[in-house]
Every structure is written in structure tokens, then in C-alpha cells.
Chains A and B, each alone.
Chain A
Amino acid sequence: MARVVVDVMLKPEILDPQGQAVQRALPRLGFEGISDVRQGKRFELEVDGPLDEAALARIHEMAETFLANTVIEDFVVKVEEAEAVKVES
């Protein structure tokens, strides 16, 4: 089974008051030096069957019509490697 990640972000020109609120809270918490925060969404899709070109095209279509609203948001589709090394936090 393959995993595909879709990241959705507000377009750069769109005001993101939630990101701003996070950014403004940082100095108060002792996290200095962050001049801007933009908040987005991450979708992790577990895909049945082979992840061929047709499957990826469908996911792209899904992201464009549903996961993102392209009037205000940009999206990126990424395939995650099955054996990707997981970095422990």
C-alpha cells in the first residue's frame, strides 16, 4: 500500500490570521526569531493498488476539486516512499 501526501496552503497573497496569531504567540512562549507563520493542511492518503500514473492523476484531480479550493489555496501532491526512514522526535 502506498501513501500519498497532499499539502494544502493558502495562496501567498491571502491573509492568514490564524498563522499570524500563532506567530504572535511565539515570543511570549520564548520562541524568538520567527518572523512569519502560515498555517496549512496535510492530507495523508493510503492508496489501494498500484500507484501508477492513472492513480496519481486521480489524486491530483481529487486535490484540485475537493481537498483544496484553488480560488484561495495551492496544493502539492507527494508520494511517500514505503521504506522511508522515520525520524523519531
Chain B
Amino acid sequence: MTARIGVVTFPGTLDDRDTQRAVRLAGAEAVPLWHRDKDLKQVDAVVLPGGFSYGDYLRAGAISRFSPLMETVIDQAKAGLPVLGICNGFQVLTESHLLPGAMLRNNHLHFICRDQKLRVESDRTAWTADYTAGQEISIPLKNIDGRYVADERTLDMLEAEGRVAFRYLARGEAADGYGNPNGSLRDIAGITNEAGNVVGLMPHPEHAVEPGIGTGRTDGLGFFTSILKKLVNV
């Protein structure tokens, strides 16, 4: 029996199908979850995919965070359930306070869509064990509210505890996918909670899982193989 990974659909979610596909490509079973249900259908892990849930009204992720399903996800995440938030999913995680900080409008005010170079800073999370710390990957980035902010104390804590999971590769040509794309503080692209089960990032690993499609690279597949190995070994 393989692992069951839930993929949540909110009204306005866009990337749930791609995420389900990525889960299946990694060898796990993808279980669609609906925002109005409270039941997690006994999944072993949950992915909150990208999109514009509730049209980003109020703040990105602010309304989704109070959905019946998220109430269950928040409880379970605190008890150790692995949760990955991608893009809008990351925004939902910060709004839920499962991850510290907040996401704001890109500093240049433009929607950005490009292949983005990142460095995986931590291979000690449930979702990054198949990478090595320091590894550079390229996966798509597409958002307008991608600027990660937190107060200095929180940023220092994240750095000290090794909880900056991904950083934008700041040096190099923007045309080649380098550079901080949105003004995120300390070039942070993604972070993890203390236990390493909850991870959020703005770029999209689920769009880089098949050769010949999108980036043509499979740099994002490791997220899904990482969690699968962890769950199967348990």
C-alpha cells in the first residue's frame, strides 16, 4: 500500500490537478480534498496548492484559512501531519500562523511568471529529504503577492534554527531566473516550522516534475518523492 496524499481545492484554486499529477508521478495516491469538508479522509499528508482562493479578497489566503477543512488541517499539522503549501498554499499557512511572517504584494507591483533559481537550504524537512542542503534547483514562479516579510527577530530566529528552507539565488541575470524576484526579506523563498512537517514556498515544484513539460526539468519532483519515502518508511 502506498501513501495517501491529500490535495485541497478551495474556490479559486488553480494548481490542484497539477499537484495531484505530481503526487501520482512520485508513486503516491492523490486524494482530492474539498475545503468545506472537515474530514481529511485519513490521508498521510496534505498539499495546499497554488491559485487565487477566494480571489485573494481581503488578503491572499485570509478567507481560506477559516474554511472547515483548514480547521482540521491546522489541528493535525500541530500534531505532526506533513503539510506543504505552495504559493497560495504558503499564503494560507502564514495566515493560519502555522508558519511565521506574511506575504505581501511584490515590491515592483508586477505579476511575475518565470523559471526561478532557488537554493534548497534545508534537507531536514519532511518535504526536502531527497535534496541535499545547498542544492540549486530551477522551478516555475508565478505570483503577485510573493514578498515574504517578518520582523527582524523572527527572521533571525528562522536563520538560527535552520528554518529558511529555500532561498532565491540573488546573484545573476533575471533573464536566467536569478535574483530576488519580489523583495522577499533575506531572499527567503520558503520556510519550515520547527518540527519540519509544515513547509511553505512561493515557487511551484508541481510544475517541474516531467521531462519535456514546462521547464523541461524535473527539479520539483523531489518534494513528492521526499514525502513518499518518509511516509512509506514510517
Interface residues of A (CB under 8 A from B): 10, 13-15, 17-18, 21, 66-67, 69, 71-72
| B13 touches A (CB below 8 Å) | no
B95 pairs with A18, CB closer than 8 A: no
Least Cβ–Cβ distance between A42 and chain B, in angstroms? 13
A71 pairs with B150, CB closer than 8 A: yes
CB-CB under 8 A for A72 and B105, given A15-B183, A66-B66: no
A67 pairs with B102, CB closer than 8 A: no
Q: Which of A10, A67, A71 contacts B101 (CB 8 A)?
A: A71
Chain B facing A: main interface SS: loop
CB-CB under 8 A for A17 and B95, given A69-B59, A69-B62, A72-B149: no
The number of residues on chain B lying at the interface, defined by a beta carbon within 8 Å of a beta carbon of chain A, is 20
| Closest partner residue, chain B, to A43 (CB atom) | B58
A21 pairs with B104, CB closer than 8 A: no
Least Cβ–Cβ distance between A60 and chain B, in angstroms? 17
A17 pairs with B62, CB closer than 8 A: no
Q: Using Cβ atoms and an 8 Å threshold, which residues of chain A touch B226?
A: none
| B108 touches A (CB below 8 Å) | yes
Q: Using Cβ atoms and an 8 Å threshold, which residues of chain B touch A72?
A: 102, 104, 149
Give chain B interface residues in 125-163, CB to chain A under 8 Å: 147, 149-151
Give chain B interface residues in 85-116, CB to chain A under 8 Å: 94-95, 100-102, 104-109
